[in-house]
A and B are shown apart, each in its own frame.
Chain A
Amino acid sequence: KNQVEQSPQSLIILEGKNCTLQCNYTVSPFSNLRWYKQDTGRGPVSLTIMTFSENTKSNGRYTATLDADTKQSSLHITASQLSDSASYICVVSGGNKLTFGTGTQLKVEL
């Protein structure tokens, strides 16, 4: 069964600090992996999308990595801001199907 597991489930950090979110997947076949940011009650917004051959991709203060051998991905947030408080969802695409992770709830505090 295709699964996407994210950790930690929730995270609280101070403004300005860095953090790393993890995503492990068992999706086959694999097409791409996406990270989304979802504010409460809003639609998910794409941060990065990576294919099998890509190891790292950055989008401003967000940097995603992908290890297709171990089927792991991480999302690193640098110099966090209060507006980074949201749910971060890892979505893996394969065989025309999308499998959603359970998300990591990030809260950035002063």
Chain B
Amino acid sequence: DTEVTQTPKHLVMGMTNKKSLKCEQHMGHRAMYWYKQKAKKPPELMFVYSYEKLSINESVPSRFSPECPNSSLLNLHLHALQPEDSALYLCASSQGSRGQSPLHFGNGTRLTVT
């Protein structure tokens, strides 16, 4: 069982919908991440939160809006997505944001935009 929990597992949404992806960890990790993964490709970093503050935004379109309500929770708010945004969205956490801390991944949310 993964220690990073993501909900929902699957999500289908239209281009005009607003939805949110949720991520939770209880390992006391202070860094949390959102990644996007297309089929047969490596994960692509979207956002990094360190101590509940946004530290990295990899030039992600504004239709993706991250939120970190507290040190255990990470949300990704979705609005007006495009079909090309269909992908597996992975949440991860690490003890710190230094390079030697390995990432712990959730099982992801499979998003389909119709």
Whether A and B are associated in the same complex: the answer reads no
